Amino acid sequence: MRDDRAHVLGQIRVSLQTAHLPAARATVPPRVVAGQGERATMIENFRRELEPLGGSSYLARNDEAAIEIILQILAGAGGQELLTWDDSEIPLRGLGDALRINGYTREKIDLPNDAAWRKTKLMELERAAAGITGAFAGLADTGSLALVSSPTRPRLASLLPPTHIAILETARLFPNMASFFSTHPDVIRDASNLVFVTGPSRTADIELTLTRGVHGPKYLHVVLLESVA
């Protein structure tokens, strides 16, 4: 048995010395969005890609329409406690007043360093029915959101609640990831985190049974806000 093992290992060592790895083939063409310079086309592509993944999208012509959409989503989500980004990071004038008038409470996302207190605080924040955020950008070819974290843009707002509502200005749509990074090459230099969110959280077990909401929100709603480029 030992001689067989030594023989096999010897063959591996010899093979490694003469191994040849073929060059990588760039045969898969990049996904192209038709009419990449047209915002209307990018909006259409973004919505078409997002919705088969389980996300919902809405087009709002102004702040008032967007707030009305958000209130309707919150009514269906149930609960009055919310996790949100700061008002300065959400491109909607009047959202804070509308939430307060309708009885919603925006919980402060401030996690202590002490492990025990941190666990207690997280349990309190888990009561939130929904999280409301802005979005740094959107990718039209995959229906993805680019979320950049900071003290005023806490990650938990988009990760912890079962429902995530994101407000994306249509002027922040990009054809694809390459065009996004070419425009914002230093996007993560001063940020604690950058994630691309494509649809609600979903996972599958060994039998390929799909389950949503295990590692993040079960529902994703994207409000596309018309804006001037």
pLDDT in tens, 57-71: 999 999 999 999 999
Whole-number Å distance between alpha carbons of 94 and 151: 22
- Report which residue type is found at 53: L
pLDDT attached to residue 223: 98
Q: What's the mean pLDDT when you consider all of the chain?
A: 86
> Average pLDDT for residues 151-172, to the nearest whole number?
95
Decide which of 209 and 188 is more confident: 188
> Average pLDDT for residues 62-91, to the nearest whole number?
96
> Is the CB of residue 147 less than 8 Å from the CB of residue 75?
no
Which pTM does this prediction carry?
0.80
Instruction: Decide if domain 36-225 falls under CATH 3.40.50.10420.
Output: yes
Q: pLDDT tens, 11-54?
A: 777 777 776 655 555 555 555 555 445 889 999 999 999 999 89
Sign of dihedral through CA atoms 98, 193, 56, 59? positive
pLDDT attached to residue 8: 78
pLDDT attached to residue 225: 97
pLDDT attached to residue 111: 83
Name beta bridge partners: 203.
Answer: 211
Decide which of 10 and 35 is more confident: 10
pLDDT attached to residue 190: 74
Which range in 80-84, 106-110, 114-118 is most confidently predicted, on average pLDDT? 80-84
Nearest partner of 60 among 106, 98, 97, 91, judged by Cα: 91
Q: How long a stretch of residues is the chain?
A: 229
Percentage of the chain lying above the pLDDT 70 cut:
83
